[in-house]
């Protein structure tokens, strides 16, 4: 089962320049026009599902962590927020804009804003959907000029980390021959 | 009253704390709130590596070696982009100062022609001196005839194609020779600014050193050209500042008078506002409406101009402009150009305050535009003041919160006033420098910036310098910060080191001398040039240093560049957008030393910045054998 666990966005704070390009790319990817300029020309609303924040001089983008046991899913009274096999989703058609998901999200990754659902203006929840319908994966990852963002699988990450730790361990062993002798 | 840590961290000024708490209570936003909302600011912008000079871009260079583009679409590297962006900032700053100078030349011309609606030549002595500098004959001629020739000559400096710019020859011979050797002796004020715009167009000058040199040339045209013209002509028209006592900080607003704030940078209109505020008819109108009088106060450099010449109290520096409105006691805030926040439009809409723009160059959303023209100067000023007085009846006394704080200050130390204080010659000052009683001179200037605690850098840097026997001369928002904490009183000598203390006490001067508005940094150049010439050395040999602890404007970039180009080591308190290029950063912080005898340094901590300046001054003293 482990290898089927859904992917998530990995952020490298050391690479984030705080340029907000990921926010614009996110908003553009979720418009009909598919681009910022196209959306502005068509007077479409732009909504980003991520947010670049700064804490003590360090900048980094924050977005949905795609929690397995997601508080937003548990709290949603209408089933608008739900969990698929790979990610946590919002069905805006079922959303009543109650903001309970906003309240319980530990990351501040959900917001409620005005949008058009089935031809009607209403308030609904927005959150990162990992651009599941976009060829080539998340728009923010593709747009980041410094590659501070990447889409990763938990198993892959665990493998990478344990490999790196093992390599470090072996290297330190090699530098201390007396331990080997 | 106790304020939150968040408020206390924003400024060291208690009036700011009080007014920020008041803003919070009223749900009003200020520059500090907007700064927070802006975070995080774009790192590419901070490093200066984004280029919008053509439409193949916008381009930006990644600072990470293994990721992102290293060249713009045209092939421009970070070095090229940073150098181009920096000198475009210089162009804008030099243009702002120089346009201010040009407007004063225009006023002088109109006055000389008898078309200036209320202006006159107040300082005939200075007119004569300047005329001599320009080889204009004065024998048996009226002051208007001389002024007409002077105005023409000064006007011509802007559009000139070949140099020299006359005032640049006030620099010591060695400095001028150096400028000529480097090919940065400016030709005409406008020409150097235009040439920056040409060189930074796509596909023109792409050599970072060559670009920076042109930036320096334009900055010299600002400091020794446009700015110096603005200062000198202001003195001719409005009088050369002399030591005057006044008051500083928001407490200068009065609960029972019509409060008029003059804000911006040019003295032209504010001079007339001051005159109109003394008009018997308007005073009578104010009394009829229940006000005890008409209280004109200044903000920013327009404030510095009328503070220096008329002792008009100053309400605060750049970051206090919104706070002044939040007192609810301002009938009108009258603005001309530069450093005026467009936020004032919305903010004044929350009060009875009239926001009046006056320059054909500067209109603001939410402002009433009453255009200023020199030929009807007094009449227009009177109408503006009348509007303010009539507005008094709409003040809501319940909404008025004026901080108590106001501090006395002694201001008005023009070059001439310093000479007079010294008994007519620089000799006593030189003696004190030689004896070591005064270690050296520091020019501390520049803006406020919400990135750093308001006034913290200004006040602490200056205090540290005077404690170490460095005489401080100041202009602009730094000067206002110093005035607000009492550093501009002769009594402040007690805070100076033993040597400087005795000198100040014997002359009756403060250890921090107010030399005017930001264009008046040209006065500091004049003093340095005079000292260097008296000693037969270059400015770069003198025990002097400069600093801008809280700078933010493009004018400050131009100022820093002409100060360094003039041979003065300069410490910046906020980081300029150049770090994206190692080559440009090194050129400015080390390489420039060999070429022009001075460099920039960046040091946000005011105490360490003072140490950098003091050790520089010590080195220069040692080199001079002092």
Distance between CA B377 and CA B288 in Å, rounded?
26
Residue B227 falls inside a structural domain: yes
User: Over the stretch A52-103, which tens digit does the pLDDT of each residue have?
Assistant: 999 988 999 999 999 989 999 999 999 999 999 889 999 999 999 999 999 9
Chain segment B430-473, per-residue pLDDT in tens = 999 999 999 999 999 999 999 999 999 999 999 999 999 999 99
Residue A3 falls within a domain, yes or no?
A: no
SS3 A150: strand
Asked if B69 lies within 8 A of A54 by C-beta distance, the reply is: no
Other beta carbons within 10 angstroms of residue B245's beta carbon come to 12
Tokens 């917001």 -> residue = A111
Determine contact, residues A59/A11, Cβ cutoff 8 Å. Answer: no
Structural domain tally of chain B? 3
pLDDT of residue B169: 97
Residues in chain B: 626
Residue A145 is nearest to which of B39, B45, B62, comparing CB atoms? B62
Query: Distance (Å) from the C-alpha of residue B99 to the closest C-alpha of chain A?
Result: 34
SS3 B474: strand
Q: Is residue B76 part of a domain?
A: no
β-pairing, B244-248 with B407-411?
antiparallel
Q: What is the pLDDT of residue B479?
A: 98
Q: Is residue A138 part of a domain?
A: yes
In a shared domain, residues B375 and B498 = no
Tokens of A121: 């203006």
Number of other residues whose CB lies within 10 A of the CB of residue A75: 15
Phi, psi of B460 (to 5 degrees): -70, -35
> Residue B1 pLDDT more than 90?
no
The residue among A11, A13, A16, A19 with the most chain B CBs within 10 A of its CB, best to mutate, is A19
Do B372 and B477 fall into the same domain?
no
CB contact under 8 A, B39 and A54: yes
Among the three residues B210, B238, B266, which one is the final residue of a domain in this structure?
B238
pLDDT at residue number B65: 85
Would you state the pLDDT for residue A85? 87
**Omega within 30 of 0 (cis) for the link into B237:** no
**B387 plus B483 within the same structural domain:** no
Q: Return the structure tokens found at B529.
A: 């040039």
Q: Determine the average pLDDT of the residues in A104-116.
A: 95
Give the chain B residue whose CA is nearest to the CA of A57: B40
Place of tokens 């018997």: B280
Alpha-carbon span B574 to B37, nearest angstrom = 20
The conformational region for residue B409 under phi > 0 = left, psi -120 to 50 = alpha, else beta, is beta
Q: B587 near B208, Cβ under 8 Å?
A: yes
Is residue A38 helix, strand or coil? Answer: helix
Environment class of B411 (CB within 10 Å of its CB; exposed 0-12, middle 13-18, buried 19+): buried
Q: Among B399, B429, B463, identify where a domain stops.
A: B399
Annotated binding site of B: 42, 50-51, 54, 59, 74, 265, 301, 339, 447, 477, 518
Q: What are the pLDDT digits (tens) for B580-609?
A: 999 999 999 999 999 999 999 999 999 999
Tokens 């003198």, residue located: B542
Residues B231, B280 within the same domain? no
Is B24 among the domain residues? no
Nearest to B296 by CA among B319, B322, B280, B277: B277
Residue A1: what pLDDT? Answer: 41
- Chain B residues with beta carbon closer than 8 angstroms to that of A143: none
Subunit contact B40:A54, Cβ cutoff 8 A: yes
Beta strands B569-572; B600-602: pairing state: parallel
In a domain, B462, yes or no: yes
Nearest CA in chain B to A20: B42
Q: How many whole angstroms separate alpha carbon A143 and alpha carbon B173?
A: 55
In a domain, B37, yes or no: no
In a domain, A54, yes or no: yes
User: Once rounded to an integer, what is the mean pLDDT over residues B256-279?
Assistant: 96
In a domain, B70, yes or no: no
Residue B182 is predicted with a pLDDT of 98
Complete DSSP assignment for B378-444: HHHHHHHHHHHHHHGGG--GGG-------EEEEE---HHHHHHHTTSSSHHHHHHHHHTSS-EEEEE
Query: Residues B43-95: pLDDT tens digits?
Result: 999 999 999 999 999 999 999 988 889 999 999 999 999 999 999 999 999 99
pLDDT per position as a tens digit, B529-580: 999 999 999 999 999 999 999 999 999 999 999 999 999 999 999 999 999 9
Q: Helix crossing, B78-112 with B267-276: angle to 10°?
A: 40
CA–CA dist A166, A162 (Å, integer): 6
What is the share, in percent, of chain B residues with pLDDT greater than 90?
A: 98
Q: How many residues does chain A have?
A: 181
Same domain, yes or no: B117 and B146: yes
Asked if B359 and B372 touch (Cβ cutoff 8 Å), the reply is yes
Instruction: Indicate whether B424 and B557 sit together in one domain.
Output: yes
One domain for residues B179 and B258: no
Task: Nearest chain A residue to B580 by CA: give it.
Answer: A17
**What pLDDT sits at residue B61?**
96
Provide Rg for chain B, Cα atoms.
24
Contacts of B203-206 with C-beta under 8 Å, sequence gap 24+, read: B203/B74, B206/B76, B206/B80
**A146 in any annotated domain:** yes
**Residues whose CB is less than 8 angstroms from the CB of residue B5 and which lie 6 or more positions away in sequence, other chains included:** none
Please tell me the distance from the alpha carbon of residue A66 to that of residue A50, in angstroms, as a whole number: 13
User: What CA–CA distance (Å, rounded) separates B510 from B503?
Assistant: 10
Do B106 and B197 fall into the same domain? yes
Nearest-angstrom CA–CA distance, B453 and B475: 19
Q: Nearest-CA residue of chain A relative to B45? A: A19
For the cut 90, the answer to whether the pLDDT of residue A13 exceeds it is yes
Residue whose tokens read 């009594």: B491
What's the gap in Å between the CA of A143 and the closest CA on chain B?
A: 10
Number of domain units in chain A:
1
Instruction: State the DSSP code for B183.
Output: T
Domain check: are B424 and B520 in the same one? yes
Over residues A127-181, the pLDDT tens digits come to: 999 999 999 999 999 999 999 999 999 888 899 999 999 999 999 888 876 655 5
How is residue B175 written in tokens?
A: 């400095």
Interface residue B498 vs chain A (CB under 8 A): no
ipTM here: 0.81
Alpha-carbon Rg of chain A, whole angstroms? Answer: 20
Characterise A137 by phi-psi region: left (phi > 0), alpha (psi -120 to 50), beta (else): left
Looking at the structure, tell me whether residues B171 and B286 fall in a common domain. no
Domain CATH number, residue B291:
3.40.50.2030
In a domain, A113, yes or no: yes
CA dihedral (A15, A21, A22, A23) in degrees, to 10, reads 130
Check residue A5 and give its pLDDT.
80
Nearest to B68 among A20, A52, A146 (CB): A146
CB–CB contact A15 B41 (8 Å): no
Q: Quick one: closest CA in A to B64, which residue?
A: A146
Show the domain range for A55.
8-150
Whether A147 contacts chain B with CB within 8 A:
yes
CA dihedral B54, B57, B63, B68 (to 10 degrees): -150
What's the pLDDT score for residue A178? 66
Band of residue A2 on the pLDDT scale cut at 50, 70, 90: very low
Average of per-residue pLDDT across B20-37:
97
A95 in contact with chain B, both atoms CB, cutoff 8 A: no
Expressed as residue numbers, the domain containing B565 is: 415-623
Query: What region does A79 belong to: left with phi over 0, alpha with psi -120 to 50, or beta?
Result: left
H-assigned helices in chain A: 21-29, 36-41, 71-75, 100-104, 139-143, 154-174, 177-180
Pairing of strands A111-117, A120-126: antiparallel
pLDDT in tens, B153-197: 999 999 999 999 999 999 999 999 999 999 999 999 999 999 999
| CATH number of A16's domain | 3.30.70.20
Strands A81-83 and A88-90: antiparallel
State which H helix or E strand residue B265 sits in. none
Q: Are residues B322 and B204 in the same domain?
A: no
Q: At a CB cut-off of 8 Å and minimum separation 6, what does B18 contact? A: B1, B3, B401, B403
- Choose the final residue of a domain: B353, B372, B399: B399
Q: How far apart are CA B605 and CA A165, in angstroms?
A: 40
Identify whether residues B319 and B353 lie together within a single domain: yes
Q: Alpha-carbon torsion B189, B191, B197, B200, what sign?
A: negative
């Amino acid at each position: 089962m482990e290898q089927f666990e859904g992917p998530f966005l990995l952020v490298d704070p050391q690479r984030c320049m705080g340029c907000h390009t990921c926010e614009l790319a996110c908003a553009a990817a979720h418009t009909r026009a598919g681009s910022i300029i196209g959306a502005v020309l068509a007077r479409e609303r732009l909504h980003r599902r991520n947010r670049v924040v700064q804490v003590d001089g360090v900048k980094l983008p924050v977005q949905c962590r795609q929690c397995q046991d997601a508080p937003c899913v548990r709290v949603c009274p209408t089933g608008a927020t739900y969990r698929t096999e790979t990610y946590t989703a919002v069905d805006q058609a079922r959303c009543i804009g109650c903001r309970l998901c906003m309240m319980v999200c530990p990351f501040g990754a959900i917001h409620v804003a005005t949008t058009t659902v089935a031809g009607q203006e209403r308030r609904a929840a927005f959150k990162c959907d990992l651009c599941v319908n976009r060829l080539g994966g998340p728009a923010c990852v593709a747009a980041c000029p410094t590659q501070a963002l990447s889409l990763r699988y938990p198993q892959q990450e665990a493998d990478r980390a344990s490999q790196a730790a093992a390599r470090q361990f072996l290297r330190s062993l090699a530098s201390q021959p007396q331990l080997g002798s | 009253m106790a304020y939150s840590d968040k408020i206390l961290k924003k400024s060291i000024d208690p009036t700011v704390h009080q007014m920020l708490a008041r803003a919070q209570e009223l749900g009003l936003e200020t520059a500090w709130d907007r700064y927070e909302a802006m975070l995080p600011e774009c790192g590419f912008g901070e490093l200066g590596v984004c280029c919008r000079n053509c439409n193949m871009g916008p381009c930006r260079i990644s600072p990470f070696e293994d990721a992102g583009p290293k060249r713009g679409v045209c092939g421009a590297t970070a070095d090229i982009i940073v150098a181009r962006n920096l000198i475009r900032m210089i162009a804008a700053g030099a243009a702002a100062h120089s346009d201010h100078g040009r407007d004063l030349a225009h006023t002088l011309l109109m006055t000389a022609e008898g078309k200036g609606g209320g202006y006159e030549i107040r300082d005939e002595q200075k007119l004569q001196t300047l005329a001599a500098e320009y080889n204009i004959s004065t024998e048996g001629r009226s002051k208007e005839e001389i002024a007409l020739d002077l105005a023409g000559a000064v006007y011509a400096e802007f559009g000139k194609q070949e140099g020299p710019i006359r005032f640049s020859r006030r620099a010591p011979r060695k400095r001028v020779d150096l400028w000529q050797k480097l090919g940065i002796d400016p030709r005409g004020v406008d020409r150097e600014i235009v040439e920056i715009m040409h060189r930074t167009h796509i596909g023109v000058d792409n050599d970072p050193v060559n670009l920076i040199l042109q930036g320096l040339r334009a900055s010299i045209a600002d400091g020794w050209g446009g700015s110096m013209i603005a200062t000198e002509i202001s003195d001719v028209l409005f009088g050369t500042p002399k030591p005057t006592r006044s008051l500083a900080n928001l407490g200068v607003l009065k609960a029972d008078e019509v409060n008029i704030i003059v804000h911006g940078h040019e003295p032209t209109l504010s001079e007339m506002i001051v005159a109109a505020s003394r008009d018997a008819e308007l005073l009578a109108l104010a009394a009829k409406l229940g006000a005890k009088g008409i209280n004109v106060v200044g903000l920013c450099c327009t404030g510095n101009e009328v503070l220096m010449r008329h002792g008009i109290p100053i309400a605060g520096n750049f970051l206090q402009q919104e706070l002044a409105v939040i007192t609810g006691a301002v009938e009108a805030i009258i603005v001309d150009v530069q450093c005026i926040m467009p936020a004032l439009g919305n903010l004044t809409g929350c009060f009875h305050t009239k926001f009046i723009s006056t320059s054909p160059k500067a209109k603001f959303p939410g402002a009433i535009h009453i255009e200023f023209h020199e030929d009807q100067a007094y009449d227009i000023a009177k109408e503006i003041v009348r509007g303010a007085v009539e507005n008094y009846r709409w003040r809501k006394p319940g909404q008025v919160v004026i901080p108590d704080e106001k501090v006395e200050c002694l201001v008005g130390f023009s070059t001439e006033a310093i000479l007079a204080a010294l008994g007519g010659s620089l000799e006593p000052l030189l003696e004190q420098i030689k004896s070591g009683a005064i270690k050296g001179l520091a020019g501390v200037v520049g803006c406020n910036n919400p990135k750093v605690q308001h006034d913290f850098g200004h006040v602490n840097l200056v205090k540290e310098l005077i404690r170490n026997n460095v005489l401080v001369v100041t202009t602009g928002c730094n000067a206002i910060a110093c005035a607000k904490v009492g550093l501009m009183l002769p009594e402040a000598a007690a805070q100076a080191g033993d040597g400087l203390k005795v000198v100040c006490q014997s002359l009756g001067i403060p250890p921090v001398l107010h030399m005017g508005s930001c264009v008046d940094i040209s006065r500091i150049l004049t003093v340095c040039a005079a000292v260097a010439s008296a000693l037969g050395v270059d400015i770069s040999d003198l025990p002097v240093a400069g600093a801008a602890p809280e700078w933010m404007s493009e004018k400050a970039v131009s100022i820093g560049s002409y100060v360094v180009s003039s041979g003065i080591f300069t410490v910046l308190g906020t980081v300029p957008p150049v770090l994206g290029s190692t080559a440009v950063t090194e050129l400015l912080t080390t390489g420039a030393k060999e070429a022009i005898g001075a460099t920039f340094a960046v040091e946000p901590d005011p105490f360490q910045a003072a140490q950098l300046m003091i050790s520089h001054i010590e080195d220069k003293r040692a080199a001079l054998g002092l």
